[in-house]
Amino acid sequence: MTRATLRLVGRGLFAGLAVLLALNLYWIGRNWTALRAVATPTGSAAPDFTVKLLHGGETRLSDAAGHPLVLAFWATWCGPCKAELPSLDRLYRRFSPDGTRFLAVNIEDLSLREKVDEYARTSGLTMPVAIDGGLLANRYHVDTIPHLVILDAHGKVSEVLDGVHEEGEVARSIQHAAEASGAH
């Protein structure tokens, strides 16, 4: 190759990199809020939602007004989620008579509804299950599962728990949310 050809190739590569950089900066600028977002911050107002329930109907954030709410984000392919769901279901049976609401939010594609339903039935889940294809998880900036968002009775985020947590720890977090908001 001649020097002129090498210069031409170098300039072409440089121009291509400049265009790629410009496109990346444009994308980052348009998505900066989402990129900066981490889990919904403690003390912030919970993002509003309406989701379809696995067995029909729908629920919304406003349905829990005046009551603590536990949002448990999970998937059928997630081993740690499967390990935590039975204890969350026990907590549902323990706290729901006092008014605490629970929602197991499956983040999988809506086309997997039958698989989610089969898992919920065979594992004996009694708490309400929603499947929304990950839309609610995006609103709450969920980037790992299992992921719990515990809201107080005023719709404020009381605590966010990533990963598997001991049943007692989650119970204390629920109780704290209820006491802090005067719900119990």
- Whether residue 72 is found in the same domain as residue 152: yes
Average pLDDT, the chain: 86
- Whether residue 103 is found in the same domain as residue 142: yes
**Pairing mode, strands 69-74 and 101-106:** parallel
Min mean pLDDT across 38-52, 57-71, 79-93, 129-143 is at: 38-52
- Whether residue 9 is found in the same domain as residue 63: no
- Whether residue 139 is found in the same domain as residue 169: yes
Question: Global pTM?
Answer: 0.77
d(CA 148, CA 52): 19
Q: What region, left, alpha or beta, does residue 80 occupy, with left being phi > 0 and alpha being psi -120 to 50 degrees?
A: alpha
What does the pLDDT read at residue 35? 44
Axis-axis angle for helices 167-180, 79-95 (nearest 10): 50
pLDDT at 145 over 70: yes
- Whether residue 87 is found in the same domain as residue 51: yes
- Quote the domain boundaries for residue 20: 3-35
| Residue 41 buriedness (CB in 10 A; 0-12 / 13-18 / 19+) | exposed
Min mean pLDDT across 10-14, 127-131, 167-171 is at: 10-14
- pLDDT, tens digit (0-9, with 9 covering 90-100), for 150-168: 999 999 999 999 999 999 9
What does the pLDDT read at residue 1? 77
Return the residue matching tokens 């998880």: 137
- Whether residue 27 is found in the same domain as residue 44: no
- Whether residue 29 is found in the same domain as residue 45: no
- Whether residue 26 is found in the same domain as residue 113: no
pLDDT at 49 over 60: yes
- Whether residue 68 is found in the same domain as residue 29: no
> 5 in helix, strand or coil?
helix
Tell me the Cα Rg of the chain. 22
Domain count, the chain: 2
> 180 in helix, strand or coil?
helix
The answer to whether 174 and 68 are in contact (CB under 8 A) is: yes
- Whether residue 31 is found in the same domain as residue 45: no
Across-strand partners of 145? Answer: none
What does the pLDDT read at residue 115? 94
What does the pLDDT read at residue 32? 47
Stronger pLDDT, 75 or 183, i.e. the higher one: 75
Q: Where are the beta strands (DSSP E) in 97-176?
A: 101-106, 129-131, 147-151, 157-162
Q: What 8-state DSSP symbol labels residue 53?
A: B
What CATH number did the domain enclosing 63 receive?
Answer: 3.40.30.10
**Pairing mode, strands 157-162 and 69-74:** unpaired
Q: Mean pLDDT over residues 39-58, rounded? A: 87
What does the pLDDT read at residue 29? 62
